[in-house]
Amino acid sequence: MTDASRVLVLNSGSSSVKYQLVEMADGSRLGSGLVERIGEPDCPDHTTALTRIADQLADRGLGLDSPELAAVGHRVVHGGSRFTAPTLITDEVLDAVRELIPLAPLHNPANITGIEVTRKLRPDLPQVAVFDTAFHTTMPESAARYAIDTETADRYAVRRYGFHGTSHQYVSRGVARLLGKSPEAVNVIVLHLGNGASASAVAGGVCVDTSMGLTPLEGLVMGTRSGDLDPAVLLHLHRVAGFSMDEIDSLLNRRSGMLGLCGDNDMREVSRRMAQGDRSARLAFDIYVHRLRKYIGAYYAVLGRVDAIAFTAGVGENAADVREAAVSGLESLGLVLDPALNSVRSPEPRVVSREDSRVVIAVVPTDEELEIAQQTFSLVSSAAQ
């Protein structure tokens, strides 16, 4: 145990597995990669994918059997109401994650397979589940419940869980560090804008609201997901347009958002088209930003006092035009962007607001793998004592 200072982080999706081997002494990556197209002839299943990853690592002297490997940390998408923290995986925990499959039918099965295959390859190695929902389990009932019949909601576990929790946790702490304060002393709005997108209100290090709900469909406009809409849109599409439930699911999750609005889900492409005067790209951008600004306003009211707004993930870290549009004209909320700082490209956490901005506007690159590795390592280290 004493020499074991590395954590393998696995993110098993339905058709791909991403991995990073992290050296905990300094957070450096000793290896990383991606096995894609699981289910196709070249890589028929997760067992093949994970065996390939184990082989790739072994080729570099970093195999699963190496004594330096302390644990494997798995990203698990849905932990329901039960899992509020990283959890050492046992048979009972696996059963509980299995019971949550109806809440995450695409994600949890792949996560479970990743865990099972790794267990077969190294049965003695501690494995930890880090849940995408865990950081949001502190939301008060007033934010977590939908206003539907309580008995129905409870029977079917219909409530708001939130996702991207590992990122919101990592970034909210990163902002506090940037401000030279402890997380407990800071109220922050985190805007995780990637292909999936979510906002959260974090008060003193604790999540009090987030924009995703029962599933990752609620909230902001995303690459291919609609985010918020009147639930009656589903009824209308079903009753009037004759869409099946599967067709509605596919429409809202895969063919909506920026892709549905303008045909492109990549913000780089949307910005490029806008610069050429493309009107549908402009409208898609405006709808994206309008929704974002609504959430910023809502979370001001939820938090009461806001110390910082942090942008993260692919769009949040790179798209200066989105950041500018999101906060423009909000000086009365204490938000004053510095255009020069905002246009700087950098992989480092940084402040992009003017010195006289009452609320700090920051860009904090997310690192979900490092957060998963740290949570995993700290759990197995304390368990070993």
Catalytic position from the list 26, 42, 65, 132: 132
State which residue, 307 or 368, has the beta carbon closest to ligand AMP: 368
Tell me which residue has tokens 């913000």: 267
Contacting ligand AMP within 285-344 (CB under 6 A)? 313-315, 318-319
- Measured from the Cβ of residue 256, the count of other Cβ atoms closer than 10 Å reads 21
Q: Calculate ∠ Cα 306-312-314, nearest 5°.
A: 155
162 near 210, Cβ under 8 Å? yes
178 near ligand AMP (CB under 6 A): no
Closest residue to ligand AMP, judged by C-beta, is 314
State which residue, 195 or 280, has the beta carbon closest to ligand AMP: 195
- Measured from the Cβ of residue 34, the count of other Cβ atoms closer than 10 Å reads 12
Contacting ligand AMP within 203-242 (CB under 6 A)? 223
Q: In whole angstroms, how close is the CB of 270 to ligand AMP at the nearest point?
A: 8
State which residue, 213 or 257, has the beta carbon closest to ligand AMP: 257
- Measured from the Cβ of residue 267, the count of other Cβ atoms closer than 10 Å reads 23
Residues that constitute the known binding site for substrate: 75
Select the residue interacting with ligand AMP from 195, 224, 280, 381 (CB under 6 A).
195
Q: Is 132 a catalytic residue?
A: yes
State which residue, 5 or 195, has the beta carbon closest to ligand AMP: 195
229 near 351, Cβ under 8 Å? no
Select the residue interacting with ligand AMP from 70, 175, 176, 267 (CB under 6 A).
267
Strands 360-363, 308-312: pairing is parallel
The CA–CA distances, whole Å, from 79 to 59, 131, 275, 314 equal 34, 6, 42, 25
Return the closest-CA partner of residue 309 out of 301, 299, 321: 299
Using N-to-C axis directions, what is the helix angle for 232-239 and 245-254, rounded to 10°?
Answer: 130
Amino acid at 128: V
Residues that constitute the known binding site for ATP: 18, 192-196, 266-268, 314-318
Residues that constitute the known binding site for Mg(2+): 11, 368
Query: Which residues bind to ligand AMP, rule: CB under 6 A?
Result: 194-195, 223, 265-268, 313-315, 318-319
Residues with catalytic annotation?
A: 132
